[in-house]
Amino acid sequence: MTTHVQTVQVKGPRLRILQLNFERGWRGGERQTLLSMQAYRAAGHEVVLLARAGGDLASRAQEDGFMVYPCSGIPAVGGTLLRYGRQFDVLHAQTANMMTWLALLKPFLRARIVFTRRTAFPIAQGRDQQTRWKWRQADVVVAISQAAAVEPRRLGLDVVVIPSAVQAQPLDSQHLHEFASQFDLPLAPDLGGETGLPRQHLSGQHFVLATAAAMSSEKDPLTLIRAIHAVRQVRDDFVFLHLGAGGDIEYAARELVHDLGLERHYVFAGFHRAIEDIYRLMDVFVLSSKSEALGTSVLDAFLYRVPVVSTDAGGLKESLAQGRGLLCAIGDHEALAASILRLLSDESLRVDMADKAHRYVRSEHDVEVMAKRYLKVYTAT
């Protein structure tokens, strides 16, 4: 699905920008990379991508008409930078491993180096000095949230905070109906257009609860499953969709669902390329992360007016502040369950919360705003 980005009016010279992202799959950072590229192109700049050959990001960028340097392995990244890196005005590392390459090759590169930190993980013990050196090779260190900025600031670096952005996608009705039919889900008549309206739950229908997260330790699906089990002890008029790829504790997650007898209520729906459509089905979005720099899946829920229950990990505290969602302590499945039950029983709260969150995400996480902030960083002296 192609994203349409408005033209960003920015004064100054036309830049040649190389974006670097070598991740395999399609997660928040990869989507942000492509959104940024589209916005810079709309502003009249030349944008090229260095990415993993055959990866989702490389494929989507090529489909959208971008020039891509596909690299089949880590050594190819260094070779590509040595061959083409001096042709660019800006080299932007979207991941830590790409910043490593830019730091090592900086003496051979002429471009302005920018690094975006997209995680809030503490630096591994004993690696402070090495990490400080690497990050200092960047002309600008950007963090996507105050939580992501904590570690570079602890190391004495200046950090510019530029929040990630989300962009509404047109509804693909066929995909939505096929998905709803596959999992026997209700389709309300008020699914909306670009961003939808607050979803009005229909009497007699099951609520649709969901998360969008890999089944990995930092996303803590086991706590989430226990929370849904606690909800199930109170009411059974819902289905929970776990959208996302597998991970290091996928087997344990599936075993726990089986052991708790939740197969009818907890559905492993897998990874979906056009997940934006599926938000139109949701009554409540839930995230149980142990660590989260920002949580673009939560921003998507805001954009499509889905009320959110989340742990208070990292940047999620920033996003869900001021009544934009219900926050719970990390690992507290009982608090998650209580918050979910509160939302399910209070339609006015769901609507009010969704409205606040929607206004916030449209003003603070707009693609055009994000692009202008980055372009200012690119051209600062």
Q: What's the mean pLDDT in 335-351?
A: 97
| pLDDT per residue as tens digits for the range 221-250 | 999 999 999 999 999 999 999 999 899 999
| pLDDT per residue as tens digits for the range 293-312 | 988 999 999 999 999 999 99
Structural domains present in the chain:
16-165+366-379 (3.40.50.2000), 173-364 (3.40.50.2000)
Spell out the alpha helix ranges (H) of the chain: 28-42, 56-63, 74-84, 96-105, 128-136, 146-154, 173-182, 221-232, 250-259, 275-278, 296-303, 316-319, 333-344, 347-364, 367-379
Cα–Cα dist 239/225, whole Å: 12
Is pLDDT at 8 greater than 90 in this prediction? no
What pLDDT score does 193 carry? 45
Residue 35 near residue 3 (C-beta atoms within 8 A): yes
Q: What's the mean pLDDT in 251-259?
A: 98
What pLDDT score does 184 carry? 87
Cα–Cα dist 281/190, whole Å: 10
| pLDDT per residue as tens digits for the range 35-84 | 999 999 999 999 999 999 999 999 999 999 999 999 999 899 999 999 99
Residue 145 near residue 160 (C-beta atoms within 8 A): no
Contacts 24+ apart (CB under 8 A), 259-267: 260/225, 260/226, 260/229, 262/225, 262/228, 262/229, 262/232, 264/239, 265/228, 265/232, 265/236, 265/238, 265/239, 265/240, 266/225, 266/228, 266/240, 266/242, 267/183, 267/239, 267/240, 267/241, 267/242
What pLDDT score does 148 carry? 95
Residue 283 near residue 350 (C-beta atoms within 8 A): yes
Strand pairing of 284-287 and 207-212? parallel
What pLDDT score does 12 carry? 67
Cα–Cα dist 283/93, whole Å: 37
Strand order across the 90-93 sheet: 67-71, 46-52, 16-21, 90-93, 112-117, 140-143, 160-161
- Confidence category of residue 189, pLDDT binned at 50, 70, 90: low
**DSSP-assigned beta bridge partners for residue 243:** 212, 270
Nearest to 44 by CA among 96, 7, 81: 7
| pLDDT per residue as tens digits for the range 108-155 | 998 999 999 999 999 999 999 999 999 999 999 999 999 999 999 999
H and E: helices and strands count for the chain:
15, 13
- Confidence category of residue 191, pLDDT binned at 50, 70, 90: low
Phi then psi for 298, rounded to 5 degrees?
-70, -40
